[in-house]
Amino acid sequence: MAEILEDLISVEDLKVFEQKYYEELRAEKGAVSESTQFQYACCLVRSGYAADVRKGIQMLTSLLKTPSAGGGGQDAAQRDYLYFLAVGCAKVKEYVDSLKHVRKLLEMEPTNRQAKDLEKVVQKKMEREAYMGAAVAGGAVLAVGGIVGLAMALTKRH
C-alpha cells in the first residue's frame, strides 16, 4: 500500500490534464466542471513536486467544501476527495492532516480497504519520523554534552 505515496504521474500526463483544466477555465469564463477539477487535482497530488502536490491539496479542499449537485454521487465524490487529500498530505509529510482525512473517510465507509491501508502507512511514517527526530535530538544532546565536557576538561588543565 505504501506504493500509493510513491506513485508518480508522468509529466506528459500531467500536462494533458492541466491543458484540459485551463481550456475549460478559459471557455467557461472561470467555471471548471467538478470532474475536470478533480482529475487535475489527482494528477497534481501524484506529481513528484511538492508545489504541485500542495496545489492539488488546495483544489481538493475547495472541492470538498463545495456542495455537489450530483445528488447520490456526492458521497462517492467526497470519499474520493478525502482519499486523495489524505494521500497528498502524506506525500508532503503533513501526517496529522492526512490521518484526519482518512479517518473522516473511514467514518463514512468503515470497511474501506484502501483507506484502512493508507491509515496504516501514514501511521508507520509518523512513527518513523518520530524515531528519526528523537535520534537527531539525542545526537544533538550528546554532541552538546561532549563539547561541554571537552571545554571543562580543557579549562581544568589550565
- Tens digits of per-residue pLDDT, 129-144? 865 655 555 565 566 6
Please state the domain extents for the chain.
Answer: 3-118
Is there a contact between 113 and 121 (Cβ–Cβ < 8 Å)?
A: no
The percent of residues above 90 in pLDDT, for the chain, comes to: 62
- Tens digits of per-residue pLDDT, 76-88? 899 999 999 999 9
Q: Looking at residues 64-83, what average pLDDT do you find?
A: 77
Q: Which of 47, 37, 40, 43 is nearest to 91 (CA)?
A: 47
Options 1.25.40.10, 1.20.1110.10, 2.60.40.1220, 3.40.640.10; CATH of 3-118: 1.25.40.10
Rounded to two decimals, the pTM is 0.77
Question: Residues with Cβ < 8 Å from 37, sequence gap 6 or more?
Answer: 21, 59, 62, 63
Q: Looking at residues 102-116, what average pLDDT do you find?
A: 95
pLDDT at 71 over 60: no
CA distance 133 to 70: 45
Task: Report the mean per-residue pLDDT for the chain.
Answer: 86
CA distance 114 to 127: 20
How open is the CA angle 84-87-89, to the nearest 5 degrees? Answer: 110
